[in-house]
Structure 1
Amino acid sequence: MDIENDAFDCELMEDETIPDEIVKAATQATFDLLPSKSRTRYEQTYQIFKKWCLKKKVISICEDVLLAYLSEKSETLKCSSLWSLYSMLKAMLRTRRNIDISKYFKLTAFMKKKSVGYKAKKSRVLNKEDIDKFLVEASDEQYLMTKVLLIMGYTGACRREEITNILIDDIEDKQTMLLVKIPNTKTNKSRSFIINGEKELNLYRKYLALRPTNVPHRRLFINYNKGKCNKQPVGIHSVGNAPSKIATFLRLPNPKEYTGHCFRRSSATLLANGGADIINLKRHGGWSSSQVAEGYIEDSVQNKIDIANKIQKAGSSNTEIVSETHYNVSSSKKSHVNE
């Protein structure tokens, strides 16, 4: 998308002493700061806001302007969409106008108030019994590729786009295990993980052995049907639909609620239930924020059991201390009387 060079977007243009070449370079640099994958969406959102400002005859951007705009949008947008709009405007106004709306306290308070009582919909997760049952009971002739998708997804806490983009060159077979590398992630941090189960290794190798010799690309996942693979790479939507297919086979309730994020959430949940701390969870999933990882630990059933056991243990210890203290006090009184 072409970058608009107008006074609304660039403060530098107000200074006529700055050469056009510098202005153009600065505008391009600010445009490049936006997320590459969703840059078009950010730009479209900003253009809609600009049109609203022109319609309302807004001369300068301030907190009240943003508050009025988002208040109007909140009448038709659900909470998650409103936060998404806020986030995109924050990025665009920071890069285009050097305005940091995160410092607008009234606006922040308004957004938080709109979030009260809102609970984001999350994908359901597969437990270890579900995973093992599918890998053993589902027919390889029909579900071999789906099994390998599951193995990669839950072992590596992979997003659907990460699974889609795995290349054969990203996997190193070390006989007793597979070393899988994810070079490109949403957070631009590469990570890797190990697959070492015998059943999992055999399924991966069986699928890889069916790969035609003349595939013109290096993508690992290619279409699979009735025991045969073709050259067509598997798309992101097919990867995202895999958890629902697994849930349908297992006859789990509400299979459509097992979305493309299921593998990643299942992996984090299994790790948290295994007693992992926040550092290991963040490293495993590649999260830069502690808030997401803390959510998995907080919701961990095993973590709740451990806390309950500690409370019970602490309660028993306190009872013993109180009883011992009472006994000592009673004994002391008896000794005093005897004296």
Structure 2
Amino acid sequence: MSEQHAEEQANTADVLPERSKKAYLTVYEAYTTWKSKEKITYTSEPVLLAYFKELSNVYKPSSLYWHFSLLKTTLPVQENVNIEDYYELQAFLKDKSEGFEAKKTLTFNSDNIKDFLANAPDEDYLPTKVALILGVLGPCLSIEMYQMKMGDLQDLGTALLVNLQVSRTKQYRKFIISHPFYEICSKYISGRMDNPDAYLFQHYRKGHYINQRIGISKFIRMGRDVAKFLNFDNFEQYSGHSFRSSAANIIVDADGNISSKPSAPARELVSTYTNSSSNSSNSIVQMSASNETSEVDESENVEQSKTDESLNFDIYTRPRITFTNCHNITININIITTKSNKTEIN
């Protein structure tokens, strides 16, 4: 690699997103390799049109647009070429995409998830079970689970607090894993919490850890592994994205019961643990719902709640709350730190 080329690559790297920098540089390198092969020393619209016509023999229309997007960012820095006004090239991409239907990510329903978590043997599938739980409850991306470390978890004794850095925004979000999912995750992290810098996902075979980090490609295959265990004929069409995508169709209530999300406006409150403070013994979750038809499950010995009334209960024995016949309902969750162990719902 020449000095000039190395300097250009370094300048490009400075303006690229850290998470996808490698992808940008790989796409640009592929383009420059093609130019060298064709003995072309410059970039123009006819040159790129010829390049994308070759790519169209290999890639789907969605992938062609992806290559175009990445080159649109790298070429101005590397070669001082702006391709935003290459309308003939964009017309070619648009023509290629006509009639193309991108495959939707296949998802798991509540019965599939319960079946896998209950019946898949831990000695072979424990890391996959934990990834499924994080993907649905998080909901976490494969890259987020790949980067997750032991220090991102806090064992509360009966629940696991996950403090996750969102890969795109670099901000943190918190969520709780409670019974019965806590028991599965607790088994996987047992004995490893004393090393906060260690990566969460290590290989686990025949009931023993292997001192080897699980690679990103393994996360992408986990959806297929779950579908294969469940004897799906189309198991090869599932991927790591299937976990997070399944979260949109799943409800996990306060007792850890999994069910499919109803199509009606009514929604069951997932968990009062969400976004709770890392110090659970001092956490209070304050919620308000401006709807007169809100009702509380009386089987939990809590009186029916009207608007602006408060309910107090221990954070570990919170009642299940169901909102029915709701229209234009707004739920606000605020974190308040107190010295008591009570959760207040307004």
TM-score by length of 1: 0.63
Residue of structure 1 equivalent to 2:27 = 42
Q: 1:217 Cα deviation (Å)?
A: 5.8
**1:155 is matched by which residue type in structure 2?**
L
Residue of structure 2 equivalent to 1:300 = none
Q: 1:170 Cα deviation (Å)?
A: 0.5
Q: Say whether the 8 Å CA contact 1:212–1:231 is kept in structure 2.
A: no
Residue of structure 2 equivalent to 1:9 = none
Residue of structure 2 equivalent to 1:114 = 96
Q: Which has the higher strand share?
A: 2
Q: 1:31 Cα deviation (Å)?
A: 4.1
Q: Which has the higher helix share?
A: 1
Superposition RMSD in Å: 3.5
Residue of structure 1 equivalent to 2:185 = 204
Q: 1:74 Cα deviation (Å)?
A: 2.6
Residue of structure 2 equivalent to 1:123 = 105
Segments of structure 2 that go 5 or more residues without pairing to the other structure are: 252-259, 266-273, 275-326, 328-346
Q: Describe the superposition over 1:58-110 as per-residue Cα deviations: whole angstroms up to 9, x where unpaired.
A: 76x44344334323443444323322332232122222233332233332222
**1:240 is matched by which residue type in structure 2?**
I
1:94 aligns with 2:76: yes
Q: 1:41 Cα deviation (Å)?
A: 0.6
Segments of structure 1 that go 5 or more residues without pairing to the other structure are: 7-23, 277-283, 285-309, 311-339
**2:125 is matched by which residue type in structure 1?**
Y
Go from structure 1 to structure 2 and tell me whether the alpha carbon gap of 1:221 and 1:62 turns closer, same or farther (over 3 Å shift): closer
Residue of structure 1 equivalent to 2:152 = 170
Aligned pair count reads 255
Q: Which has the larger radius of gyration?
A: 1
Choose the corresponding residue for 1:51, options 24, 28, 36.
36
Residue of structure 1 equivalent to 2:316 = none
Go from structure 1 to structure 2 and tell me whether the alpha carbon gap of 1:131 and 1:260 turns closer, same or farther (over 3 Å shift): same
**2:4 is matched by which residue type in structure 1?**
E
Distance 1:163 1:259 in 2: 14
Go from structure 1 to structure 2 and tell me whether the alpha carbon gap of 1:199 and 1:115 turns closer, same or farther (over 3 Å shift): same
Choose the corresponding residue for 2:228, options 241, 244, 248.
248
Q: Say whether the 8 Å CA contact 1:166–1:182 is kept in structure 2.
A: yes
Q: Say whether the 8 Å CA contact 2:107–2:245 is kept in structure 1.
A: yes
**1:218 is matched by which residue type in structure 2?**
A
Q: Percent identity?
A: 33
Residue of structure 2 equivalent to 1:21 = none
**1:221 is matched by which residue type in structure 2?**
F
Distance 2:53 2:154 in 1: 52
Q: Describe the superposition over 1:192-234 as per-residue Cα deviations: whole angstroms up to 9, x where unpaired.
A: 2413331111111122225498x79611122222323233322
Q: Describe the superposition over 1:261-299 as per-residue Cα deviations: whole angstroms up to 9, x where unpaired.
A: 2212222444795689xxxxxxx9xxxxxxxxxxxxxxx
Distance 2:34 2:74 in 1: 10
Q: Say whether the 8 Å CA contact 1:210–1:229 is kept in structure 2.
A: no
